[in-house]
Amino acid sequence: MFQKILIANRGEIACRVIATARRLGIVSVAIYSEADGRALHVALADEAWPVGPAPARESYLAIGKIIDVAGRAGAEAIHPGYGFLAENADFAEACAAAGIVFIGPPPAAIRAMGSKAAAKALMERSGVPLVSGYHGAAQDFSRFRAEAERIGYPVLVKASAGGGGKGMRVAAGPEELAAAIEGARSEARNAFGDDRLLIEKYMTAPRHIEIQVFADAYDHVVSLFERDCSIQRRHQKVIEEAPAPGMSEAQRQAMGEAACRAARAVGYVGAGTVEFIASGEKFYFMEMNTRLQVEHPVTEMITGEDLVEWQLRIAAGEALPLSQDRLRVRGHAIEARIYAEDPAHDFRPSTGTLIHVREPPRASHLRIDSGVGAGDAITPYYDPMIAKLIVHGETRATAVRRLAAALAQYEIVGVETNLALLRAIAAHPDFARGALDTGFIAREAKTLLAAPAGETADPVLWAAAALAALADARRERAAEAAASADPFSPWNEAGAWRMNGDGYQDLVLTLGEETVRLRIHPEPGGACRLDLPPMPMVCPMGGSLRAEAAEDAEGGMALRLEGVLHHLRVVRRADMLVVVRGGCNHVFHVADPLAPPAGEEAGSERLVAPIPARIARVLVKAGERVRKGDPLIVLEAMKMEMTIVAPLDGVVENVLHGAEEMVEEGTELVTFAAPPRKSC
């Protein structure tokens, strides 16, 4: 076994590999970019070495730098994690040339499966079933158009190199084919440095099922069973589970044998995943990922095996730890990927600092893999994943219940997340009964992405925000008093004393579209009475509620409202109060009750970057006439592309930034010529 390994990755996978290395007594060496100097994987490793600036191509993708660090650190082997260089044959060869073991498959196997087109041709010769498609060398549009007509629409255009949902576009008809090819080609070029494409029949409601395989250098290959990865958005997985719901033993055996056949066909060694699309009992090869997968924890949960340990042992020259007849499925496991993204706005990535993170308590049936925590920044340079939440149960029904309960306990404030979407999926009746397919999220989007019902109608939320704002004001006044020349002056009091009449304080809060003025009357003992104005959904006639708040055992708020106890949390974020209840964030703004109403803002003929990003493509030029909705600029951030469209009909006055430039959130991208004023 190795004495020291370097991990050529970051985030949760680096933390994951470090954990196994530590358990086995192996010294771990981390690498980090300038953006990751204080990252969790850096803190956990035995050593950590800098490798360059924040952009991945200058650090985590810089093969020469990584090999140099491994040599200087005395690492015997390199674990590539997943992503970055994990499926890069050149990197594997560079490791070998430097006398360093690559903890992964041979370069020839990576190359054979790295090209989806070549892999499909190889699988076809090996008797592995394929979906109808074209994966030839000709890459001109006329050939793609002819093949699409032969296959029949809809078709899926996808990058021949790479994976992870990048470089994939659906063309529902011939009128969409050119745009699909251009979009897929551009994204493939940016993500993988290879813009070759293939085209195949797009199955509208298949299941995505993959087989975890392992092979050693002694011609032993095993299947560690299947995972169902059908719950996806943008062709990228969101929820994965093992075993696949409703999988017959005959289909499990057939798919496992096909996956092992695929691995043998390329002389595979190490961990790999063979991905299939399935419809009924039929299944078709999609691709083979020559690395460990993000969703490997569900396989670990149902087999009881540490797959990273298997990787290390095989790379060190050992045989497979177990033969096929000794592997068993135990119970059911589900993984939910928690992303920094905004599902309500086409899953746009979200950047910022994690102000507050509270994870569900660990248990034997619950695991969390994460590389970030409170105080860490989610940057535009890397994948937007925050954590993976994995649960296990004796049955699938138990696992689903545990998933829902754990998601309700997860709290994140500071960036937009997909937690609400994950909760909605876990609560959906079709998910509960295992009726899964890759179109699930898109088909059920109206239900899954709906805003929380009755958010502004819950007096508990208003009371929590009001008492938190009041406590903040008192703390600020106390600090000001302590710093003043006369700390005992009555003018420094934060109370509600009035010369004539009962004391009170007014507070104006906004939640969504609802703005409410509350009057707070302090009572002896720390309680207060909240006067609410008439609110159609809360108090139609207005009313007065007795409220009292204290800190609970977990550092949150224990709120008694009319004698009923509620546990929640209030997180301060700039001028906002985020009330977290049941894991859901409710964002309040505190307004000055004496401030005049805000005036209407004038319209703007500006277009700005919604998040920090790199400009991938500029699609317009100055003087060009555009219509509302026309694509103008394509941005790339967190391994995703987003198209910025024209907000109005008009003429482009100026394009302020070019391709490859990095822009910050709010940076003006395009200006439009003001329409001519009409003369009287």
Distance between CA atoms of residues 22 and 28, nearest Å:
7
Query: Which residues, in sequence order, are CB contacts of 399 under 8 Å at separation 6+?
Result: 241, 331, 332, 333, 334, 391, 392, 393
Q: Choose, from 185, 207, 291, 396, the residue flagged as catalytic.
A: 291
| C-alpha neighbours within 13 Å on the C-beta side of residue 2 | 30
Distance between CA atoms of residues 493 and 490, nearest Å:
5
- Under a CB-based contact definition with an 8 Å cutoff, are residues 588 and 642 in contact? no
Query: Across the strands, what pairs with 635?
Result: 615, 642
- Under a CB-based contact definition with an 8 Å cutoff, are residues 587 and 574 in contact? no
Q: Can you tell me whether residue 560 is helix, strand or coil? A: strand
State both tokens at 427: 């609560």
Q: Check residue 54 and report its DSSP letter.
A: S
Distance between CA atoms of residues 275 and 283, nearest Å:
10
Query: Across the strands, what pairs with 31?
Result: 49
> How far does CA 77 lie from the centroid of its chain?
29
Distance between CA atoms of residues 356 and 569, nearest Å:
10
Query: Across the strands, what pairs with 565?
Result: 560
Query: Which residues, in sequence order, are CB contacts of 320 under 8 Å at separation 6+?
Result: 214, 215, 216, 220, 222, 310, 314
State both tokens at 29: 């060496």
Q: Can you tell me whether residue 673 is helix, strand or coil? A: coil
Query: Across the strands, what pairs with 548?
Result: 560
Query: Which residues, in sequence order, are CB contacts of 420 under 8 Å at separation 6+?
Result: 343, 452, 584
Task: Find where tokens 């009319």 sit.
Answer: 562
State both tokens at 52: 């360059």
Residue 647's CB is within 10 A of a number of other CB atoms, namely: 17
Distance between CA atoms of residues 123 and 286, nearest Å:
10
Query: Which residues, in sequence order, are CB contacts of 601 under 8 Å at separation 6+?
Result: none
Distance between CA atoms of residues 439 and 459, nearest Å:
38
- Under a CB-based contact definition with an 8 Å cutoff, are residues 41 and 10 in contact? yes
Residue 617 catalytic? no
Helix, strand, coil shares, percent, the chain, to 5: 30, 35, 40
State both tokens at 432: 């509960």
- Sheet of 197-201, strands arranged across: 133-134, 197-201, 155-159, 168-171
Among residues 287, 309, 91, the alpha carbon closest in space to that of 193 is found at: 91
- Under a CB-based contact definition with an 8 Å cutoff, are residues 134 and 198 in contact? yes
Query: Across the strands, what pairs with 507?
Result: 518
* CA separation, residue 588 to residues 466, 508, 573, 574, 583 (Å): 10, 10, 10, 11, 16
Among residues 608, 604, 653, the alpha carbon closest in space to that of 635 is found at: 608
Provide the phi-psi class of 351: left if phi over 0, else alpha when psi is between -120 and 50, else beta: beta
Residue 308's CB is within 10 A of a number of other CB atoms, namely: 24
* CA separation, residue 604 to residues 63, 411, 608, 656 (Å): 46, 36, 11, 16
- Under a CB-based contact definition with an 8 Å cutoff, are residues 564 and 391 in contact? no
Catalytic sites, residue numbers = 291
